[in-house]
Amino acid sequence: FPKPSVPPVSIMGSIIVDCIFISLVSYISNMSMALIFSRQFMYEIDANQELLALGASNVLGSFLSCLPMCVSLSRSVIQVTSGGVTQIVSVVSALLLIFVLLWFAPFFETLPRGMGFAMLGNVPPVIGIYMGIFPVLIYFILGTSRHVNQGTFAVTCLMTGKVVSHHATVHIKEVKDAYEPEEPAEYTNIQIGAAVTFVVAFMEIIMYVCRFGVTASLLSESLVSGFTCGAAFHVVNSQLRDILGVPIDKHFGAFSIPLTLYDIARNIHKSNYIAVIMSILTFAALILNHIFLKRRWRKLTRIPLPIELILILLGILAIDVIHLERDYDVTVVGRIPKGFPKPSVPPVSIMGSIIVDCIFISLVSYISNMSMALIFSRQFMYEIDANQELLALGASNVLGSFLSCLPMCVSLSRSVIQVTSGGVTQIVSVVSALLLIFVLLWFAPFFETLPR
CB atoms within 10 A of CB 281: 14
Residue 437: C-alpha distances to residues 10, 35, 108, 367, 386 (Å): 33, 30, 10, 29, 30
Domain boundaries, the chain: 8-244+333-447
The tens-digit pLDDT sequence of the chain (452 residues) is: 667 788 888 888 888 888 888 888 888 888 887 888 888 888 888 888 888 888 888 888 888 878 887 777 667 776 777 677 777 777 777 777 676 555 544 334 335 567 767 777 888 877 888 888 888 888 888 888 888 888 888 778 878 888 888 887 654 444 545 555 554 457 888 889 999 999 999 999 998 888 887 776 676 667 766 776 777 777 787 778 878 888 777 776 677 788 888 888 888 888 888 888 888 998 898 888 888 887 787 777 665 666 777 887 788 788 877 877 777 787 776 676 777 888 888 888 888 888 888 888 888 888 888 888 888 888 888 888 888 889 999 999 999 999 888 988 888 777 877 777 677 788 878 887 887 887 777 766 666 667 76
Question: How far is the C-alpha of 271 from the C-alpha of 397, rounded, in Å?
Answer: 38
| Rounded alpha-carbon distances, angstroms, from residue 103 to 107, 143, 414 | 9, 29, 24
Beta-bridge mates of residue 10: none
Question: CA 45, CA 353: separation in Å to the nearest integer?
Answer: 32
| Per-residue b or e along 433-442, where b marks 16 or more CB atoms closer than 10 Å to that residue's CB | bbbbbbbbbb
Residue 426: its pLDDT value, please?
Answer: 81
What is the spatial distance between Cα 307 and Cα 328, in angstroms, rounded to a whole number? Answer: 25
